Structure 1
């Protein structure tokens, strides 16, 4: 089993080839190939660990689509003061398909 741990937009994500993942919005067109270079760890036959990143490792990915996550409701209330606020937020996400782990 091969996998990699990559830093994408402030989050560390465990990636495996031939799978798709949702990450924070990446401003690229659908179908664009990109290379992720902030690779922290790669496990193929051997384990490669970066301090903090691996110099020659990269992840080849393709942008599948852009979408929004489920709505998160934020409700503020102060009892006995007639203060109520209800807000919602939908995070913009991008679906990435991991093609290959290169080291």
Structure 2
């Protein structure tokens, strides 16, 4: 059984027991959260697609940790104009483990 959910402005295909890094969620480590924006639930050949959300479907997950991703280096340059700009960015994330999917 799997589901397609939305969190942090992105869509993810999740399966029970899977670990996933998503955009930062403000909750404590070890707490259980409910993700109720479910677009699709599938179990074998039985597929439920919402318009846009599946009614009554939810995914429960446990927060494992919070962290920061790898550093992304941004470099801008204009040739022959003596312009160079260096910048870096590290995105915050929350690692969750999917405990169950209910349709």
- TM beyond 0.5: yes
Aligned to 1:53: 53
How far is the alpha carbon of 1:77 from its aligned partner?
Answer: 0.9
Unaligned runs of 5+ in 2: none
Q: CA deviation at 1:49?
A: 1.1
Moved over 6 A (4+): none
Structure 1, unaligned stretches of length 5 or more? Answer: none
Alpha-carbon distance between aligned partners in 1 of 2:30 and 2:51, rounded to the nearest angstrom: 32
Distance in 2, matches of 1:44 and 1:78, equals 53
Structure 1 counterpart SS, 2:97: strand
Paired residue total: 102
CA distance in 2, matches of 1:90, 1:51: 35
Please give the alpha-carbon distance, in whole angstroms, between the structure 2 residues aligned to 1:49 and 1:81: 53
Other-structure match for 1:78: 78
Structure 1 vs Structure 2 CA RMSD: 0.9
Aligned 1:13-92 pairs, distance under 5 A: 13-45=12-44, 46-92=46-92
